[in-house]
Amino acid sequence: MNNEMYIKESNQVYDAIVVGSGLSGGWAAKEFCERGLKTLMIERGRVVEHRKDYIGEGVPPWEMPMRGKVDNILLEQRHRIQKQCYAFNDATKHFFGNDRDLPYTTKEGTTFSWIRANQLGGKSMLWHRQSFRLSDYDFKANTHDGYGNDWPIRYSDIANWYEHVEKHAGISGAKEGLEQLPDSDFFLPPFEMTKPEIDIKAAIEKAFPDRKMIMGRMAHLTKPTELHIQQGRVQCQARNECQKGCSFGAYFSTQSSTLPAAAATGNLHIAPNSVVHSLIYDEKSKQVQGVRVIDNDSLEEREYFGKVVFLCASTLGSTQIMLNSTSQSFPNGIANSSGVLGHYLMDHNYNAKAYGDIPGYEEEYYKGRRPGGIYIPNFQYEPKKGSKKYLRGYALAGGAYREGWRENASNKGFGRDFKDSISSAGKWKFNLSAQGEMLPRYENTVQLHPTLKDKWGIPQLEINCRWSSNELDMMKDAADTAEKMLKVAGIENIKKTVTQKPPGLAIHELGTARMGRDPKTSVLNGFNQSHDINNLFVTDGSCFSSSAVQNPSLTFMALTVRAVVFAVKEIKNGRI
C-alpha cells in the first residue's frame, strides 16, 4: 500500500467504481483490478492500515484505563446505539461509527439498532466470521411456502463462486454431508470441540437424529495454505480478540486479504473520507456516469466518473444512496421503477436461548480461546419438517466453556479462599442461542426522512421495522426446543429466555434492493444488475430476496465475485 493510491480530486473516467470497502467492496475491487480494470474504491471513512492502526490489539483489560469499559459520557454522546453491539468496548470503539454524526430515525412504535463501521475495511474489521453457504432450500424457500418473491438464482449458479471465495479467504470447517448446509472442497481443518461438547453432540444426535451438531465454519486460518502465506497471513492464534484487529491476518478482512491483492495490480485507487451523496444519472444514455461525494471533513463537494458502478456500501447505506439519487426518470430513487426499493428489510432474530451447567469434567480444560463455537443447522429447512405455528426455521449456535476470572470478578467475597476461587477454573457451562429467519415483509421499510438531514446535507434514513408474529412464535419454539436438547444432554440448572431486542443487532440487514426475475417486483436481476440501468450493480445484503438462517457474509462475497465476472464480460462485449 502506498500513498499514491489514495486520491482526492480526479478527472479520470475509471473502468469501475466501487462504493464501500467492506466484505463486498473489497472483493469487487480485487476482482476488477485483477481483470485489468482501473478501479476506484470510494470509502466514506478514514484509512485504516493493516497492523499499524490496530491500537487495541494485544492490550489486556487490566492495562486499559477503565479495564475495557468506555466512559459513560462518551457512550451517551457518541455510542448510545453502537454500545449495544457485542464487539464494542474500549479496545474496539474506534472501529465503530459515531452516533452523534450518523443520525437516523425510526417510525413511532418501532426500534432498530443500526451498527456502523465507517472506515477502510468497513465491518470486515468487526464481523464474527461465521461463513456458511446457502442451499437450494434457501434459494427456493418462496416456492415451498409462497411467502416473498423467488430468488432468480439457484445453488448451482453460485456454487463455483462460493468455492472461489473460500479458497482465497480461508474457511475452517468439516464436510458433514448435510443437504441444508452444503460443504466445501476447500475447508481448512475445523477447530476442535471440547470433551463436553463431544459428549453433548452424541447425546443430542441420538435423541434427535435430524439435528446434527457441528463445529462452526469460520473465516480463520487454522492451517494456512501457500496462497494464504503469499498474502502475508499466518495461522490463527486462538486469542478470540479478533475485533481489535489481527496483525497475523489470521481472520479474513479487507485489510488482510482483498485490499493487498487489489493494490498489487497497480489498478486500484482509493478515495477515503468521501461520503457518497448520490449517483449521477444520464437521461440520454440511461446509464450511471459516476457519483457525487461530500468530503467527510471539509464538506466540499466533488464528483468521480466511471463506466460501471458497484454499490457495496451495506444494505442501508446503498439503499440510502439510491433513494437520494433522483432524476426525471427516477423521481423516487434511482433504479426504482418497481417501487420496492427500501422495502422488505430483514435481519436475523437472536432473541431466544437456553443455558445451564455441565456436571463433571473437572479435570477437563482446553487450550487457547477458540474464536467461535458449535452450530446446529436449521432442521426445519423443508416445509414438511417445519413447525405448524410459523414459516421457515432457525439454527442454534453456542458451545461449552469453563467459568474464569471474568465470570467470578462480579461475585461477592474476600480473603484467601475467594482469591483462590477466582484463580481456579469454575463450572462448565453450555448454551444454545437461536438464529431465526425473518420473513420479507413489504411494510418493513427504510425511506428518506422528509425534513431531517445529517451534517453532510444528506436526508436521514427513517426505518420502520418490527418482528412479526411469525418471528415471535419462532423464538418461543426455539427456546423450548433448546431447553429440551439441553435436558437430553444432561445439562443441569437450565434456564431459557425469550427477549424482544430490536432488529439490527444481528448486523445482518438484508433485502431493501432485492433480486428477482420480475422487474415489476424487484430491483436487481440474477447477476445483481439493476433491471433499469445496465451499468449499475448492487452486491451487498440489500440484494437478498430472503434471509435464510445462515450468516450471510459468505454469500455477499460470492455474489459480488459472480457479478464482477458478469459485468466484465458485458463490458468486453459492448453491452455496457
The model's pTM is 0.96
Percent of the chain clearing pLDDT 90 (strictly above): 87
Length of the chain: 576
Per the model's pLDDT, the better-predicted residue between 547 and 425 turns out to be 547
Per the model's pLDDT, the better-predicted residue between 8 and 65 turns out to be 8
Mean pLDDT of 273-290: 98
Evaluate if residue 393 carries a pLDDT over 90.
Answer: yes
What SS3 string covers 209-273? CCCCCEECCECECCCCCHHHHHCCCCCCCCCCCHHHCCCCCCECCHHHHHHHHHHHCCCEEEECC
* Closest to 314 measured CA to CA, from 542, 90, 11: 542
Mean pLDDT of 197-219: 98
Place of cell 481448512: 188
Mean pLDDT of 279-289: 97
pLDDT at 419: 75
Mean pLDDT of 284-298: 97
Evaluate if residue 190 carries a pLDDT over 80.
Answer: yes
Could you report the per-residue pLDDT of 475-494, keeping only the tens digit for each? 999 999 999 999 999 999 99
pLDDT at 9: 93
Evaluate if residue 253 carries a pLDDT over 90.
Answer: yes
Evaluate if residue 66 carries a pLDDT over 90.
Answer: no
SS3 (DSSP) at 415: helix
Mean pLDDT of 441-469: 97
pLDDT at 493: 98
Mean pLDDT of 236-254: 96
Query: Which amino acid, 157?
Result: D
**Pairing status of strand 394-402 against strand 309-311:** unpaired
| pLDDT category of residue 430 using cuts at 50, 70 and 90 | very high
Mean pLDDT of 177-192: 97
| pLDDT category of residue 410 using cuts at 50, 70 and 90 | low
SS3 (DSSP) at 400: strand
| pLDDT category of residue 368 using cuts at 50, 70 and 90 | confident
pLDDT at 73: 72
DSSP 8-state code for residue 187? P
SS3 (DSSP) at 163: helix
Q: Are 329 and 281 in contact (CB under 8 A)?
A: yes
Q: How far apart are CA 79 and CA 115, in angstroms?
A: 10
| pLDDT category of residue 405 using cuts at 50, 70 and 90 | low
Q: How far apart are CA 238 and CA 252, in angstroms?
A: 14
Could you report the per-residue pLDDT of 30-62, keeping only the tens digit for each? 999 999 999 999 999 999 999 999 999 999 888
| pLDDT category of residue 426 using cuts at 50, 70 and 90 | confident
| pLDDT category of residue 355 using cuts at 50, 70 and 90 | very high
Could you report the per-residue pLDDT of 500-536, keeping only the tens digit for each? 999 999 999 999 999 999 999 999 999 999 999 999 9
| pLDDT category of residue 239 using cuts at 50, 70 and 90 | very high
Could you report the per-residue pLDDT of 453-462, keeping only the tens digit for each? 999 999 999 9
pLDDT at 348: 98
Q: Are 248 and 235 in contact (CB under 8 A)?
A: yes
Please, what is the angle between helix 155-169 and helix 553-572, to 10°?
110
Distance of CA 418 to the CA centre of its chain: 41
Could you report the per-residue pLDDT of 92-145, keeping only the tens digit for each? 999 999 999 999 999 999 999 999 999 999 999 999 999 999 999 999 999 988
Evaluate if residue 404 carries a pLDDT over 80.
Answer: no
pLDDT at 444: 98
Write down the mean pLDDT value for the chain. Answer: 95
Please, what is the angle between helix 469-488 and helix 195-207, to 10°?
110
Residue 245: all three cell numbers together:
484487529
**Helices first, then strands: H and E counts in the chain:** 13, 18
pLDDT at 361: 94
DSSP string, 112-147: -------BTTGGGGT---B-----HHHHTHHHHH--
Residue 93: all three cell numbers together:
470503539
